[in-house]
Amino acid sequence: MEVAIVHPADRPKRAPYTSGVTFLNCRSIEDDEIEPGMIVVGGVPCEFTGSTIGPRLGPAAIRTASIVIDWRWREPGPDGVIDVRDGTVVRFRDDLSLGDVGDFTMYPPQLEPTTEAIRTRMRGIVARGAFPVMLGGDHYVSFPLIAGYHDAKLNAGERKIGYIQVDAHLDLQDDNPTHGTHWHGSNARRASELPGIDPRNMVWLGLLDVAWRDEWDFVQRSGATIVTVDQMRDRGIERTVAEALEVAGRDCDTVYLTVDIDVVDSAAASGTGYTNFGGLTSREFLRTLKALGQSDKIGGIDFVEVTPPRDNSGVTAYLAALSLVEFLGRRILER
């Protein structure tokens, strides 16, 4: 029997699990209000590519968790707060250019129109000169997001894009027996096939458990760089990040960053699809994101796999929001 599948891509609508708050209480904007240099937050609430139930609730949870950070930093008024690590006064920049475009339209469970919608909207956001900060959703969304980023950069005359993935896993599987070629275990593999991406400029930070044979073989033959959690500890976080930026950015015009929260030990961040023990501590993770945020070469980030139904006390969403503030650091704060 033939099944007619309707792709209602011409009927965009707001998903019922879309959040009502914006990241850090920032301005809610439409895409056509984006100005060059603006930090643009968007939600990509997808979870139908082989994930645990819950990642679609990630954007709402991260935005909600960010509100307490906004309160904590703004409540004292214009004098700012003191960073106890070095005694400096820190406040949100007066010229802060930060907007939240809300959540992208999803077409669950239809992968093609969802993929196309994410890629097209991301391309438009980046083409307007935004610094995109995209909240997943499961890790599959990273592929159409980087594809849209890639399209906009190549259209603007850039040629090569570096790639850093902070994750316990490689997500390099070519063809999963159950999920096929497009799911949250293949996002990096599909990204590696984009014309502007050379696997020798792809770096993984925080690998922890097992990989499948074809993922491992890909790394061995492609010249990609992988760094395990233990290697990060041995070398030191800041040095590891500096080396990763060097490799990912070599001969590249820009670097794209994707962060999977499951790189953090599940004892600290239970709210994700796959339980890991021995991953980065919350402190190491915050330092990693802060160090990555020092780079001008990184031009966009997605942050994925926060899974609120598995999140004890909401700490995983809060860690996500706090690490994004650490990453955005000098872009949103002045000292």
In the complex, least distance from residue 283 CB atom to Mn ion, rounded to whole angstroms: 21
Of the two residues 42 and 55, which places its CB atom closer to Mn ion in the complex? 55
Phi, psi at residue 161, to the nearest 5°?
-120, 125
Q: For residues 121 and 169, which CB has a smaller minimum distance to Mn ion in the complex?
A: 169
Spatial separation of the C-alpha atoms in residues 9 and 158, rounded to whole Å: 30
Shortest distance, CB of residue 48 to Mn ion, whole angstroms?
16
Tokens representing residue 26 in the block: 């920032």
The distance of closest approach from Cβ of residue 272 to Mn ion in the complex, given in angstroms and rounded to an integer, is 9
Tokens of 300: 């966009």
Q: How far apart are CA 66 and CA 223, in angstroms?
A: 38
Look up tokens 């796999």; give the residue. Answer: 305
Rounded Cα–Cα distance for residues 316 and 136 (Å)? 13
Q: Output the smallest distance, CB 273 to Mn ion, in A.
A: 9
Nearer to Mn ion, 153 or 169 (CB): 169
Beta bridge partner(s), residue 203: 164, 225
Give the nearer residue to Mn ion in terms of CB position, either 42 or 273: 273
Q: Shortest gap between Cβ of 307 and Mn ion (angstroms)?
A: 12
Q: C-beta of 143: minimal distance to Mn ion in Å?
A: 11
Supply φ then ψ for residue 105, to 5 degrees. Answer: -75, 130
Tokens of 55: 């990642």
For Mn ion, the binding residues (CB under 5 A) are 139, 167, 169, 171, 260
Contact 42, 134 (CB under 8 A): yes
Closest CB to Mn ion among 63 and 139? 139
Task: Report the residue number, 22 or 115, with the smaller CB distance to Mn ion.
Answer: 115
DSSP for 262-318? GGB-TTT---SSS--SS-B-HHHHHHHHHHHHT-SSEEEEEEE---GGG-GGGHHHH
